[in-house]
Amino acid sequence: MNTALKPSIKTELPGPCGRAIIAQDEAYTSPSYIKEYPLVADRGQGCFIDDVDGNRFLDMMAGIAVNSTGYAHPHVMGAVREAIEKVWHICGTDFYTDSFSRLSAKLSGYVPGMGKKRVFLTNSGTETVEGAIKLARFHTKRKGLLSFYGGFHGRTLGALSLTASKIRQRENFGPFIPGVVHADFPDVLRRPTGMTPEECGLEAIQKIERQLFTRVVSPDELAAIFVEPIQGEGGYVVPPKSFLTGLRSLCDRHGIMLVFDEVQSGVGRTGEMYAADYFDVAPDILLTAKGLGSGLPIGAIIAREGIMDWTRGSHGSTFGGNNVSCAAAIATLEVVEKILPDIRSHGALLTSGLKKLAAKHPCIFDVRGPGFMVGMELAHPVSKNPIPEVMANLEQMAFREGLLLLGCGASTIRFAPPLVCGPHEIAIALEILDHCLERVSPSF
């Protein structure tokens, strides 16, 4: 950690170089991109990123939970450089590389509760979800799929059929793949008075059994239940453990594959390598991507050995398990393995700092989440309704003060910094946030 680094804004935002790049981008790129604020990234170091005009920002969102080891981590850079000099691509579907088999072996060592595993390497989160849909259907010879409201699983048509996060991600893109049903994810924050969080988790399971399985779909038709152990895009929503153990036993009773989509929660983000270990619940299939390659595109489907029984040629991927990405992933995992205790303690430091801000700023409704998967939900202090406009203003204001934030859900700020984030960065983030909250919070 380099304590000399701090945010520094020298120009108007965006500056002249940034404005030229944005103008070109606006002329030629797809209008579907969101572009949260006009950050034009140039180079990064640790948790800090400089834009093309020399302004420096503290990054508390890591390119949406991707830059797990921060920018330019020497161990990851070294591994990538070595791989680039040797071989870039050979296609892991048809041939072998040392890094492909080593990464697969390494990934199969995590989440011991899953027993012996096999690994399929992909390019992205969405591709892991698509592959898992196929694997679950192939193995069970069933077609039905269940996922949850608020869940985000990607944007290709299979993954999008499971996604039920924001309507603008789905509208005009149907029809979706047949056989998908959705159920409620437990909302602990808004549970009825007198109900414990664990009861709230169990109630969600009972609703699936009593309503969905008796009125909508027979459990014998379901190939898989897809769930994010902690919902990411949907608002950094942490379920009670009873919900995930309940899903485990539901799947065991009905021969359904339990798929944990850990694309966002994986690779150390919760302070455990995977959230499955944080909750101590073992899925049948675990999906990982985002932070796995510290920014290089790579993902993996990790399945219990007996489940990954699809046959030679039934599934493949041209770029999946690219040699450079595999080298980055192995090095990333080596770094993350060593810093898991730090992620837990620094995450707790961030959470306690945010809770102190919550005591001061009434628009902070809740602060939650383990490790560096922390959500700060904003809501109207009286009605408890979401306040998306306040969240959007906060993001913009923080950007102008050199702090990169990103929203999720209806009005939650997700804190998903590089996992190497330490007390120095946390103190800066809290100070800027406090200042911005003072200005952004309407006098409720």
Ligand X SMILES: Cc1ncc(COP(=O)(O)O)c(C=O)c1O
What letter would DSSP give residue 169?
A: G
- The residue (of 409 and 422) whose beta carbon lies closer to ligand X is 409
Q: List Cα–Cα distances, 204 to 186, 190, 250, 255, in angstroms.
A: 6, 13, 12, 19
Q: Of the listed pieces 226-234, 235-243, 410-418, 430-438, which binds ligand X according to CB under 6 A? A: 226-234
Distance (Å, rounded) from C-alpha 255 to C-alpha 299?
26
Q: Which of 48, 152, 213, 226 binds ligand X (CB under 6 A)?
A: 152
Instruction: Give min distance, CB of 14 to ligand X, in A.
Output: 25
Sorted by sequence, the CB contacts under 8 Å of residue 402 that are 6+ apart come out as: 6, 7, 8, 9, 55, 56, 57, 58, 432
Q: Of the listed pieces 118-126, 349-357, 364-372, 375-383, which binds ligand X according to CB under 6 A? A: 118-126
Distance (Å, rounded) from C-alpha 327 to C-alpha 371?
25
- The residue (of 48 and 148) whose beta carbon lies closer to ligand X is 148
Q: Which of 51, 59, 130, 228 binds ligand X (CB under 6 A)?
A: 228
Instruction: Give min distance, CB of 270 to ligand X, in A.
Output: 13
Q: Which of 7, 18, 232, 370 binds ligand X (CB under 6 A)?
A: 232
- The residue (of 108 and 126) whose beta carbon lies closer to ligand X is 126
Q: Mark 27-66 with x for binding to ligand X (rule: CB under 6 A) and - for no binding.
A: -------------------------------------x--
Question: Sheet of 180-183: strands edge to edge?
Answer: 117-122, 299-304, 285-288, 257-261, 222-227, 144-148, 180-183
- The residue (of 301 and 428) whose beta carbon lies closer to ligand X is 301
For residues 309-348, which are near ligand X according to CB under 6 A?
A: none
Size of the site for ligand X (CB under 6 A): 15
Return phi, psi of residue 288, to 5°.
-135, 150
**Strand blocks (E) in 219-283:** 222-227, 257-261
Give ∠ CA 143-145-148 in degrees, rounded to 5: 175
For residue 35, how many other CB atoms are within 10 A of its CB? 10
Q: Of the listed pieces 148-156, 237-245, 338-346, 353-361, which binds ligand X according to CB under 6 A? A: 148-156
Instruction: Give min distance, CB of 154 to ligand X, in A.
Output: 4
Is residue 412 close enough to count as binding ligand X by CB under 6 A? no
Q: Of the listed pieces 140-148, 164-172, 257-265, 402-410, which binds ligand X according to CB under 6 A? A: 257-265
Instruction: Give min distance, CB of 27 to ligand X, in A.
Output: 25
**Three-state secondary-structure class, residue 270:** coil
What is the distance in angstroms between the CA of the first residue and the CA of the last residue of the chain? Answer: 39
Q: Which of 62, 114, 250, 263 binds ligand X (CB under 6 A)?
A: 263
Which amino acid makes up residue 265?
S
Q: Which of 62, 107, 119, 129 binds ligand X (CB under 6 A)?
A: 129
Is residue 99 close enough to count as binding ligand X by CB under 6 A? no
Q: How is 49-84 classified by DSSP, letter by letter? A: EEETTS-EEEESSHHHHT-TT-BT-HHHHHHHHHHH
Q: Of the listed pieces 12-20, 45-53, 123-131, 271-279, which binds ligand X according to CB under 6 A? A: 123-131
- The residue (of 127 and 366) whose beta carbon lies closer to ligand X is 127
Is residue 126 close enough to count as binding ligand X by CB under 6 A? yes
Distance (Å, rounded) from C-alpha 350 to C-alpha 342?
12
- The residue (of 13 and 135) whose beta carbon lies closer to ligand X is 135
Q: State the number of CA atoms in the 13 A half-sphere of 403 facing the CB.
A: 25
**Three-state secondary-structure class, residue 350:** helix
Is residue 237 close enough to count as binding ligand X by CB under 6 A? no
Give ∠ CA 44-66-374 in degrees, rounded to 5: 105
Q: Of the listed pieces 228-236, 242-250, 278-286, 426-434, which binds ligand X according to CB under 6 A? A: 228-236
Is residue 414 close enough to count as binding ligand X by CB under 6 A? no
Tell me the two tokens of residue 235.
């608002």
Structural contact between residues 365 and 400, judged by C-beta atoms closer than 8 angstroms: no
Instruction: Give min distance, CB of 69 to ligand X, in A.
Output: 17
Is residue 261 close enough to count as binding ligand X by CB under 6 A? yes
**Strand blocks (E) in 234-350:** 257-261, 285-288, 299-304
State which residue has the least CB distance to ligand X: 125
Is residue 124 close enough to count as binding ligand X by CB under 6 A? yes
- The residue (of 213 and 226) whose beta carbon lies closer to ligand X is 226
For residue 43, how many other CB atoms are within 10 A of its CB? 11
Instruction: Give min distance, CB of 122 to ligand X, in A.
Output: 9
User: Which residues are at the interface with ligand X (CB under 6 A)?
Assistant: 64, 124-126, 129, 152-154, 228, 232-233, 261, 263-264, 289
